[in-house]
Amino acid sequence: MTIRQEHLAALADLGYNEQEARFIYLVATHSGYFTVRQFLDYTGTAKGWAVHQFTTKSIHLGHVRAATYGHQTAVFNVFSRKIYGALDRDNLRNRRRLSNELIHTRLLILDFVLAHPNLEYLETENDKVTYFHDRLGIPEALIPGRIYKGIKPESTTKRSFVDRFPVFLSAESDCPDGQPIPTFTYCDPANKSLLHYITHLRTYEPFLRRLPDFEFVYAAPSPVKFQRAEQFFHSLFDENSPANSRTLNRYFHVRQLWAENQHNLLTRSDSRPSALWKPAVQGRVL
């Protein structure tokens, strides 16, 4: 991904060095929340002065607030309008306080992005709508979204792709005319139910079926739900589906990377951007 220099310059004017500015950009754009561990992983540093200086400074400047999540885990929320305004992200809802479940999902999203910094992400709602509607000709009515009530009586606004899951484009050698393939991700937190995943796929189904091709990555902190998740995916997108002519030969060769961090077990093929998810279980549908 390429971060525009004017965005880095705007964050520098707010008091951040280049490395901090790049991290703040990724957090504000993709998740709104981060942990100390994520900052340390991104900067390649050990616990110490750098992370303390960054968190203390960002809180003192009124750009970040600290909160307790889960089992007394400290998380940080980039909430300042100054940050989002500097990045032309004024309409993002990442700055808001979220439930523990949503915070968990946002942290998983940030993990994915930090593990794959070189992908061509469709970062904003406008980027996604422009690509799928203007370039691919998908009707606006089919683009996944949610209707919100406006300030004025009876006024409404549609916001698209409100789940914030990463969407990126990947080119493959057998794509006609080099047309990139959009890859959609679903980050599933650690609970037993597949209800949210099922609802998500059903919501996206009409939209996905209109695409000439797509890829889909499902990931969760545990492999327990992989088989059920795969079965439901197959029930919607079987081999005869026009939208699924290539997508079933994809993602679910299971590895546990969350707690063990065993990167030495990855093969070259596992390291394809569409398959690798550093902190979670990842795989390929065969």
**What are the backbone dihedrals phi and psi of residue 66, each rounded to the nearest 5 degrees, phi first?**
-95, 150
Over residues 126-171, the pLDDT tens digits come to 999 999 999 999 999 999 998 887 777 777 888 899 999 999 998 6
The model carries a pTM of 0.79
pLDDT band, residue 254 (cuts 50/70/90) = very low
Alpha-carbon distance values, 210 to 6, 111, 234 (Å): 36, 29, 17
d(CA 86, CA 3): 13
Over residues 34-89, the pLDDT tens digits come to 999 999 999 998 877 889 999 999 999 999 999 877 776 789 999 999 999 999 98
* Model pLDDT, residue 274: 36
* 5-98: in CATH 1.10.10.10: yes
What average pLDDT does this structure show over 179-193? Answer: 86
d(CA 147, CA 41): 37
Higher per-residue pLDDT: 92 or 52: 52
Domain ranges within the chain, ordered by starting residue: 5-98, 120-284
